[in-house]
Amino acid sequence: MPTQSRKNIVKKLDAVFSTYIRLRKSKNEIAQCYTCGKKDNYKKLQCGHFQSRKHYSTRWDETNCQVQCYACNVARYGEQYIFGNNLNAEYGENTSDKLLKKSRDITKFSNADLLGKIDMYKNKIKDLQVI
């Protein structure tokens, strides 16, 4: 089997991680936007990032990433202020500050690390679908 390119591994991890983030808090496949409260099928919603995906240190961080509708995530640029306030309310004061600091860390993942994350999130998705 030929080795996968790093670009394809990252793309696959992004897809699997996004599915997990959108599915983890859903009930009967309905999830709620973290910033506006809109409810829809998790497949129609997105994986929003408090700190941008460009930062590998927080790109696949389960606290940094929450379900968002297209309007909040794209049209309203992630609603970062509301997103941060909601993170602080749910996960504790200064969570948004900690994620900002973490996003500035230089983090490097090997292809093996990324492939391991893909397997981990595939298993987490299977566990959620069994419930």
How much is the pTM? Answer: 0.95
| Mean model confidence pLDDT for the chain | 96
CA-to-CA dists, residue 94 to 10, 91, 107, angstroms: 29, 9, 22
Q: Under a CB-based contact definition with an 8 Å cutoff, are residues 24 and 128 in contact?
A: yes
Determine the pLDDT at residue 110.
98
Backbone CA torsion sign across 42, 5, 50, 64: positive
Strands 30-32 and 46-49 come out as unpaired
Give 2's pLDDT tier (boundaries 50, 70, 90).
low
**CB atoms < 10 A from the CB of 54, how many?**
9
Query: Residue 4 has what DSSP assignment?
Result: P
